[in-house]
Structure 1
Amino acid sequence: MGIQPVIGRLLVVDWAPLPQEGDKVLFVFDGGTLDHEATRRITFSDGELSVYEFRSVAELDDLLTERLARRLKAAAIAHEMGETIYLEHGRAVLAG
């Protein structure tokens, strides 16, 4: 059964050029807030994952690679500001 959350607005676009893998453009969208009933219905049908947990933005540096932590922290800021943030390698690019 699982869940099918409504996907909201685009929070982050992150250009990640990697010479060994090729350029990537990564997108982070607002997935909304899951209530207790929705989290109870989360399933993993393909066997790739077996567990999930929710963690605070403050914990990201200790859990993720530096670039991924930067991307998700930018998404949290974009969510609060009501904007979309453009990144390169997880770092904000100043207009100019």
Structure 2
Amino acid sequence: MCVDWVAPHGPWDDQLAFVFDGGTLPADQARRLHPRDHELSACEFVAPDDALTMLPPRTRRRAAQALRALAERRSAYLESGERPAP
């Protein structure tokens, strides 16, 4: 849904963050999902508005723009979670 260029910050170089629409999973498949990486402790499905309140600011901006792109049915290019001025 979007690609987000994030400027260098703290000890990190710049990065590209991608958000994809993975479609809808059948309920039985969704129930079987669990983290398979030591960096993740849990996963859950929540309504988009609820998800936005759970995310830190930089990720919240990116997620909100991804949801906007989904509603507009077009991809978006972002810079630090915002659409750049034309």
Q: TM-score, normalised by structure 2?
A: 0.83
- Give the superposed CA RMSD: 1.7
**How do residues 72-91 of structure 1 correspond to structure 2 at under 5 angstroms?**
72-91=63-82
1:60 positional shift: 3.5
Secondary structure of 1:27's partner? strand
The question of 1:54 aligning with 2:45 is answered: yes
Secondary structure of 2:77's partner? strand
Classify 1:43/1:54 alpha carbon distance in 2 versus 1 (closer, same or farther; 3 Å). closer
1:58 positional shift: 1.6
- Aligned residue pair count: 85
Q: Which runs of 5+ in 1 are unaligned?
A: 1-10
1:73 positional shift: 1.0
Aligned-pair identity in percent equals 35
Q: Which runs of 5+ in 2 are unaligned?
A: none
The question of 1:29 aligning with 2:20 is answered: yes
Partner Cα distance (2:37, 2:45) in 1 = 21
Which structure is richer in relative contact order (CA contacts within 8 A, separation 6 or more)?
2
Letter aligned with residue 83 of structure 1: R
Partner Cα distance (1:29, 1:46) in 2 = 19
1:83 positional shift: 0.6
Partner Cα distance (1:26, 1:46) in 2 = 19
Classify 1:35/1:81 alpha carbon distance in 2 versus 1 (closer, same or farther; 3 Å). same
Partner Cα distance (1:37, 1:57) in 2 = 21
